Structures are given as structure tokens and as C-alpha cells.
Amino acid sequence: MRFVVDAMLGKVALWLRLTGHDTIYYGDIDDDDALVIAEEQGRALLTADEELYQRANNRKLDAMLVRESTVDEKVASVFFWFGITPNIDPSIARCSKCNGELEEITADNKGKVKDLVFEKTYDAYDTFWLCNSCDSVFFQGGYWDNMTLYMKRIWELMKELKG
Ligand SMILES: [Zn+2]
């Protein structure tokens, strides 16, 4: 499943990328761009804007109107609708910043990220994920636990949606 996400749903885009979904999002994407991208690349369009949603419907595009009030509810409703499991697997995750593909770096070739992370971090970890597009480096630091907890919360909200 591939997505294009409107400017108001940045957090939704972030969690789609982290769960391994190719997701186009940038802060100043306009409605016409989003429609063209959805149509030409066969992507599902997620929008908080009713008018854009209607335009997508008129063109018979796969679109979802995301109107829930909180970020958590937005993420849960999108995952629920598309049948996405709220689980972060770094071997399939996309770069949260740019949607690039991540390369797994192990102890053998960890020199590749030496200049890209703090020395303390470099020494503390043997596995990293390097974005091939923007050179961002990810590792299973403290924020990892927070992300896992957050996915659990989304899972709970999805259960409520199921009723
Ligand atoms: Zn990147």
C-alpha cells in the first residue's frame, strides 16, 4: 500500500513510513499536486480536507477523509481502514524524515555511520539504519521504546473502532 498525504496530516505520514509504507508527504504540498501524484502513481490519498476528498472521489481515486480530532485517533482510523498492523519493523521501515529506503548497518560495516552520529551513540550500538536518500541514521535508542508504546496505544484505539 502506497500513500500520498496532505499537508495537515504530517503525523499520520510519519507513522505510515515507520510501519514500512511508501508515503509521499511534504509540508507545502497543494491539492492539485496531491491529486496528480495519487492518480499517476496509484497511491491512496489521505486528506483532512472535504473538498479535496470530493475531488479525489470524482476522479475515482482511492481516498480517505481523515476528520478525527486527535492525532492518535487519526492514526488509528487510517490504520484500521487500510488494515495496517501497528508494528514498527526497521527492516521494512522507510525514513521518517524523507521516505527514503533504509539500509541496515551491522557491526561489520558500522564505519559507514561513524561521522553521522554522536561518538557516544556510535560506541553504544552495533546496529543502525541509514537512509540512502538523506543520510539520517536510526538506532534502537530510548525513543524506540516510546514508539513501541505508541503503537500499542494505536492498537488499543483500533480495537475500540472494531467495536
Ligand atoms: Zn531520509
Cα 14 to ligand 1 centroid, rounded to whole Å: 12
Q: How far is the CA of 154 from the centre of ligand 1 (A)?
A: 24
Q: Are 38 and 4 in contact (CB under 8 A)?
A: yes
Whole-angstrom distance, CA of residue 138 vs CA of residue 140 = 7
Give residue 128 CA to ligand 1 midpoint distance, Å: 13
Q: Where in the chain is the domain with CATH 3.40.50?
A: 3-87+142-162
> Cα(11) to centroid of ligand 1, in Å?
16
- The model's pLDDT over 98-112, given as tens digits with 9 standing for 90+, comes to 999 999 999 999 999
Taking only the tens of pLDDT, the chain with its 163 residues reads: 999 999 999 999 999 999 999 999 988 899 999 999 999 999 999 999 999 999 999 999 999 999 999 999 999 999 999 999 999 988 899 999 999 999 999 999 999 999 999 999 999 999 999 999 999 999 998 888 999 999 999 999 999 998 7
Q: Is 65 helix (H, G, I), strand (E, B) or coil?
A: strand
Distance in Å, CA 77 to ligand 1 centroid: 26
In degrees and rounded to multiples of 5, residue 137 shows phi and psi of -120, 135
CA distances from 107 to 60, 110, 125, 140 (A): 48, 5, 8, 14
Determine the distance separating the centroid of ligand 1 and the alpha carbon of 23, expressed in angstroms: 12
Grid cell locating 156: 488499543
**Cα–Cα distance measured from residue 38 to residue 17, given in angstroms and rounded to the nearest whole number:** 17
CATH hierarchy code of domain 3-87+142-162: 3.40.50
Note whether 138 and 129 are within 8 A (CB).
yes
Q: What residues does 129 pair with on adjacent strands?
A: 104, 138
Distance 68 CA to ligand 1 centre (A): 28
